[in-house]
Amino acid sequence: MLSSIIWDNPIIPALWLIGCAICTLYYLVHHPLLAAAASAATTAKEQTPVSVNYHFSRKCNYKCGFCFHTETTSSILSLDEAKRGMKLLKEAGMKKLNFAGGEPFLYPRFLGEVLRYGKSELGIESMSIVSNGSRITEQFLRENARYIDILAISCDSFNPDTNIRIGRGTRGENVGQLAKVAGWCEEFGIKFKINTVVCSLNWDEDMSEQIARFRPFRWKVFQCLIVTGENDNEKRIRDARSFLVSDEQWQVFCDRHKHLECFVPESNELMKGSYLILDEFMRFLDKGDGEEKASESILEVGVAKAMRQVRWEQDSFVERGGFYDWTKESTETGTGCCSSGGANAEDLEW
């Protein structure tokens, strides 16, 4: 009779349900096993910085009109700080580290030391460099080849006049230097790569014959990109608007060269959010849509927190072919074949 009276009152069941919910929530929060499981789930969601591009200086000896990482500062970290950051990245799961700029070979002593440290002391799986090629010497490659898996040279045209108009040198000498570097890479066992930006000055050029002759293991081709805050108007150090190509022009260039096995195209959409870029202060940069953003430095807040402050999409990284044969042991150097090797998505616990 009493229970019937209690449960006939609609307030009582509601209070009972609220009490049960509070008890359940308390149990979930304070039970050690469940708390550990929740912590593990959170950790599993942390992203792994598998491949990082470290632009350790913005200084460059060329003036490419479409550059989207311009010389807004002259800063460069000390070797000790750079090494500390590299160690943090390795501990966070980094497998590949690419040195870029600016022009990395303007600092040969710094570059040589971070290459040696990364390969010999940290055991980083792949170490690579992107350069305009102008300051590379045979002696540097001979002394440091053991630490370099890949050397990528930027070459946007095989026409000297076009290169001058783009801003790659003043005498159109970079094609001759490209040939020298390709030969040195073959001699010293470094995988040779070419990077090309498709712009309004070269989209109608047929590079098939020259690329086949230089035999890069990978030819990375980018669509000219605008980054707000870097190259988006006449007030910036560079104004890339006149260098842009339409999607139709981009597709024409791609169709002309898609028969080459080493051809790897990247449209603007593929590039956005798919690269982990560290600047000269070891801050991650978000060069996606809108104004460029920078995280706090990994030297101050660690890798995981800094990564959460920018947009990096693992799916986009995989989609654009971020995993490839990135160690020089994975395929014979100089064959021009983009064969499988190196890390892959299945090898990594995201």
Residues classed as catalytic = 60, 64, 67
Tokens 């801050």 correspond to what residue? Answer: 283
Q: Is 191 helix (H, G, I), strand (E, B) or coil?
A: strand
Nearest C-alpha neighbor of 318 from the set 285, 286, 350? 350
Q: Are 322 and 202 in contact (CB under 8 A)?
A: no
110: left (phi over 0), alpha (psi -120 to 50) or beta: alpha
Sign of CA dihedral 233, 234, 240, 241: positive
3-state SS record for 140-164: HHHHHHHHCCEEEEECCCCCHHHHH
- The DSSP element (H or E) to which 268 belongs, if any, is helix 268-271
